[in-house]
């Protein structure tokens, strides 16, 4: 993805194992930018340097293994939705393409996405064998989920290729308006 000032790519989290080698939009296949879902929640959402708000949740499409957007608490204390397609991720901020990109209505995204906060602690398995519970996701700057961070029975964290795991989605993990 794009960087703010120098046109280059910045890295949020170094993890050479997190790339999947698949192309994505905006040339992100070549981008070293990777992030944990939890890291995104610590970044401000800005437009031309002005802070619009802070992310409160990440919405994940589990069928496509993509982040579709972010729930954002805006300066006026309203909750709005920022589609990832209308944002750029850098190491120090999430840049909205326009203030109009922050949506009051997000029915389509609610229907096609699951709350990362609600997914935490859900069972994850590989080939029918339970390997632990979902702790976080690793994503590329274009939104592709490349790894699932799983907490094992002993509390250890391990990363698995997202395409190899199955997440036992809870009914409450699906966002409701």
Q: What is the pTM of this model?
A: 0.75
pLDDT at residue 33, rounded to an integer? 61
3-state secondary structure 28-46: HHHCCCEEEHHHHCCCCEE
Greatest pairwise CA separation for the chain in angstroms: 47
DSSP H helices, 30-105, are 37-40
pLDDT at residue 124, rounded to an integer? 95
DSSP H helices, 11-143, are 37-40, 107-112, 116-119
Spans of the chain, pLDDT less than 70? 1-33, 170-177
Bridge-based pairing state of the strands 79-83 and 129-140: unpaired
pLDDT at residue 30, rounded to an integer? 42
Cβ neighbourhood burial of 127 (10 Å; 0-12, 13-18, 19+)? exposed
Q: What are phi and psi of 65, to 5 degrees?
A: 55, 55
pLDDT at residue 34, rounded to an integer? 72
The CATH number of the domain holding residue 150 is: 2.30.30.240
pLDDT at residue 109, rounded to an integer? 76
**Domain residues for 163?**
1-177
pLDDT at residue 11, rounded to an integer? 34
Q: Provide the domain count of the chain.
A: 1
pLDDT at residue 171, rounded to an integer? 52
């Amino acid at each position: 993805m794009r960087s703010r000032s120098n046109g280059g790519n910045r890295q949020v989290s170094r993890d050479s194992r997190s790339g999947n080698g698949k192309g994505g939009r905006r040339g992100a296949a070549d981008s070293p930018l990777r992030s944990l879902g939890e890291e995104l929640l610590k970044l401000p959402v800005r437009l031309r340097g002005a802070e619009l708000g802070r992310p409160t949740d990440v919405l994940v499409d589990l069928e496509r293994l993509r982040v579709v957007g972010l729930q954002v608490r805006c300066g006026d204390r309203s909750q709005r939705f920022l589609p990832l397609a209308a944002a750029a991720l850098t190491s120090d901020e999430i840049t909205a393409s326009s203030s109009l990109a922050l949506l009051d209505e997000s029915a389509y995204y609610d229907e096609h996405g699951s709350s990362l906060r609600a997914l935490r602690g859900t069972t994850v398995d590989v080939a029918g064998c339970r390997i632990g519970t979902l702790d976080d996701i690793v994503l590329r700057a274009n939104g592709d989920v490349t790894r699932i961070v799983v907490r094992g029975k002993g509390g250890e964290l391990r990363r698995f290729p997202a395409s190899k795991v199955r997440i036992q989605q809870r009914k409450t993990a699906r966002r409701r308006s």
